[in-house]
Amino acid sequence: MTSRLNPSQLAAVEHHEGPLLVVAGAGSGKTRVLTARIARLIEVHGVPPQAILAVTFTNKAAGEMRERVGRALGSAPAGMWIGTFHGIGARLLRMHADRVGRTPEYTIYDEDDTLAVVKRTMERLRVSTKEFAPKAVLGEISSAKNALVEPVEFEALARTPLAKAAAQVYRDLEPQLQQANAVSFDDLLVLPVRILREHADLRERLARRFQHVLVDEYQDTNRAQYEFVRLLAGAHGNLAVVGDDDQAIYGWRGADIRNILDFERDFPRATVVRLEENYRSTAPILALANDVIARNEDRRGKTLRPTRAGGELPVLLECADDRDEADAVVEAVQRWKATRGTLRDCAVLYRTNAQSRAMEEAMRRAALPYRLVGAVRFYDRREIKDLVAWLRLIANPADDEAFRRALTAPKRGVGDTTVELLDGEARAHGWSLLEQARRIDAVAGVRPATRQALLDLVRTVDRFRDLAVDAGVDQLLLQLIAAVGYDTALRNEGPEGLERLENVRELVTSAAEVIIEDGGEVGLRPLDHFLQRATLVTGLDQLGPEAEAVTMMTVHTAKGLEWPMVCVTGMEDGLFPLARAYDDPAMLEEERRLLYVAITRAGEQLLVAWAHQRRRNGELLPGVISGFLRGLPGGLVEKRSTIRMRGSARLASPFGAAPDSRGRWRDDEDAASPFAARRRAAPAWSPRGGESVSSFVQDEEASQDLPNFVRGERVAHAKFGSGTIADVSGAGKDAKVTVDFDDEAVGRKRLVIAFAGLTRGFD
C-alpha cells in the first residue's frame, strides 16, 4: 500500500510513536494516509486492532475508512474502534452510563426532543418563550456545553438577558435528562469528558486499551472534542491528527482553529508533516486557491502543488442580476454535459440556502435535473419520527418525550389537559409518564375512554419490550405498525398518507439492513443499535445513489466533496463574505477559508459568478464584486460577462475596461499571465440557449420564497380566522399545511401555503 505514496505521505505513514500532526491540503490524499497508517501500525508494528481508536466527523467517512483498512489488511480489523466523535462518545456512555447517572438503555434526544424539554422548562420557570425563543436558549446552552462550561460557571458569566435566561434553564436541564434516562446530542461529547476527568482509573484503563489515537478533520474540533482526545491520548502521546487549518470553516458552531494551530504547544514532541501535492485540481484552479488563501494571516502556511497537467483558467463571470447568473450557470452546465461529461459531474455552490431559489427556477425552466442537498432528512420526517418515538419508548420507558409523541401517533383521544395532569402526578412521585400512565386508575378526573387508551399504550410498550430482547428491528416495526394501527391512520390521510406510507416501508427496509458492528463488546440490543444510528446519522450520510443530476448545496455542506465542474455563485460583498464579517477579523478570515474550500472542490473547470443586482428579502439590491476577488494578480482568472451584462449600458464594469465581443474583459495585467496562451485558446463562456434536457427534480427543497411554518405554530387566515398548524408536508409550490382553526364550524383545513396567505403569531 505504501508503494503508491509520495514522500510526504510516506513520512506520515511510517511515523510510529509520539504526537504527529499531518497538515493535509485539499485533495492531498489524507484518507489514503490515514488508512495506510492504521494498516502499517497493525502489520509492521504489531499493534492489535483493538488498541487503535480512529475518530472522524461523519458516519460516511468512518465507513469508508473501515472499508479501506479492511482492504489493505485483507480482512476487517476486528475490535478496532472507528467512528464519529458522537458515535464513540455514545459507545463509551453505554459502557459506563452509571458514572453519570444513566443506565445503558439511555435515550439520545435529538434537537426537537431537547427543544421540547427546554420549552417546558422555560414555561415552568416563567421564562418568557415570546421574549426569548426556546431555540435561541437551546443554542446558548449548546455552545456552553461544547465549550465545557458548567451551569454554575455559565450563570456567573451570563451578561445578556438571553444568556441569563438560558442560565436558568441550563441549571435545570441535567436533572431532567437524568430523570428521563436521556442525554442530549451535546452530552455525547460532554459526559464522556466528565467521566474521563472524574475517574482516573477508567481514564488510565482506556489509555492502556487505546495505544494509538487517530483523528481526522482536526481543524473542526471544538473544546469538548479536543479535551476528549487529550484525556485519552495524553498519557502515551501516540496521537496522530490530520487536518487543514485553511479549511477550518466551522467556528460559528464552536470549532476552534487554535486546536490545530497550537498543536505543538499542546504536544511539544510533535512531528509535523505537510501534504501539499494536490491530486484533484488542475494548475490554474490551484493557483487561484493559493492566491486567495495566502491573504489570511492566521494560518500555518502551505502551497498546493498540482499533479495534473494542463487545465483551463477559472472563469470570473459578471452577471446583471441573480436570474441572469442562474441562467448563465445552467447554460454552462448544459455545455459541460454536451461536450465533456455528465450532469453528476457538476455542482452549484452558494453561501446561503436562500440563494437556491433563482437557481431552482432556472433549472426547472431548462428542464435540467438537480439534487438539492439540504432538504428535510429522512429521519426528520413526521411519520419516521413518530415510529422512532415508539421504538425509543420501548427501548427506554423513562423517555417522556417519546411517550408524548407516541400518544399522538396515531391519535388516541388523550388531550393536552390529561397529559399535563399526568406530568404533574409523575413529577410529584418522581416517576416517568409511562409509569404514571400505568397507575392511571389512581388519578381522579380521567374519563374512562382516556384511561383505557393510556392502559392500552402501556400494554403495547410492555409487550414489545419483551419482543425487543432479541427480535430484529424490522420485524419489531412491522408488528408495532399493525398493533397501533399506524398504517391504517396513514391510509386514512389520502394520497399524501400513502406517500408517507412509502417512507414507513423504507424505514422497515433500513431496519432490516442494520448490521451490528460492535461485536458483542458493548452488548447493545438490535433496537438500541438501530436507534443510535438513526439519531447520529447526518445530512450527508443520507445522500442516495448518484443520479444523473446537478448537485446544489451550500459551500459548508460541500466540504469534503469534489466534482469535475463547479460553479460558485453570489460572489458579492455582503453575501460572500457576509456583511458582518467586516466587523470581525477572525470571521473574515473564516469566510475567506470558505471560499478556498469552494474553489478546491473543482477538478477541471471552475466558474465563479457575481451579480450587479440580487433579490434579497423581497428587494432588488445593488451588488459589488466580493473583496476576496478584487485585486487578483493578472491572469489568474478569465473575466467574462453574460450577454445581458454586455448589452446593459447602465451597469459599469468594475474592471476598468470594456468587454470584447465574446464577453471577455481585457486589461493590461492579463497579458502577463502564465496561462494567457491557454486562456486565449479556450472557448468563450457566453451563455447559449436552445438545448433541451429531459429531466426530473430530485430531493426538492421548499422554495425560498415561501414561509417556513412548523407544527404547533399559531397562524391566522383572512377567511377562517386563527388556528394552530397540525402538520406541514410537501415542498416548493406544492407545500401544504394542515391547520386546526379555533372556530369549531371551520375545524381542520388543508391549505396550499403558496396561496393561503397565512400570517404568523396570532393568539
Cα of 239 vs its chain's centroid, Å: 27
DSSP three-state, residue 163: helix
Specify whether 325 is catalytic: no
Q: Could you please report the per-residue DSSP string of 347-380?
A: EEEESSGGGHHHHHHHHHHTT--EEETTS--GGG
Cβ burial of 325 (10 Å; 0-12, 13-18, 19+) is: buried
ω into residue 397 within 30 of 0, thus cis?
no
Specify whether 30 is catalytic: yes
Residue 189 to residue 89: CA distance in whole angstroms: 6
Residue 618 to residue 357: CA distance in whole angstroms: 12
Are 40 and 14 contacting, i.e. CB atoms less than 8 angstroms apart?
Answer: yes
Catalytic residue among 121, 247, 436, 569: 247
Dihedral angle, C-alpha 207, 210, 215, 221, nearest 10 °: -30
Which sign does the torsion angle of CA 293, 299, 302, 304 carry? negative
Residue 318 to residue 645: CA distance in whole angstroms: 7
Residue 399 to residue 432: CA distance in whole angstroms: 7
Specify whether 230 is catalytic: no
Residue 325 to residue 645: CA distance in whole angstroms: 10
Catalytic residue among 31, 179, 475, 698: 31
Dihedral angle, C-alpha 699, 705, 706, 707, nearest 10 °: 120
Catalytic residue among 140, 174, 187, 217: 217
Specify whether 94 is catalytic: no
CA distances for 341 relative to 109, 429, 533, angstroms? 44, 67, 36
451: closest CA among 496, 401, 502, 415?
A: 415
Residue 358 to residue 615: CA distance in whole angstroms: 9
290: closest CA among 256, 705, 243, 299?
A: 299
Residue 110 to residue 90: CA distance in whole angstroms: 13
Catalytic residue among 119, 371, 392, 601: 601
User: Which cell is 719 given?
Assistant: 377567511
Catalytic residue among 9, 30, 474, 600: 30
Are 416 and 448 contacting, i.e. CB atoms less than 8 angstroms apart?
Answer: no
User: Which cell is 469 given?
Assistant: 430482547
What's the one-letter identity of residue 141? I
Which sign does the torsion angle of CA 68, 72, 78, 81 carry? negative
Are 177 and 151 contacting, i.e. CB atoms less than 8 angstroms apart?
Answer: no
716: closest CA among 726, 725, 707?
A: 725
Q: Left if phi > 0, otherwise alpha if psi is -120 to 50, otherwise beta: which for 222?
A: beta
Specify whether 339 is catalytic: no
731: closest CA among 757, 758, 753?
A: 753
Phi, psi (rounded to 5 degrees) for 54: -120, 125
Extended beta strands in 245-290, E state: 271-275, 277-278
Strand bridging mode 748-752 / 736-741: antiparallel
Specify whether 216 is catalytic: yes
138: closest CA among 156, 112, 175?
A: 112
Cα of 463 vs its chain's centroid, Å: 36
DSSP three-state, residue 497: helix
Catalytic residue among 105, 174, 186, 216: 216
Residues serving a catalytic function are 30-31, 216-217, 247, 601
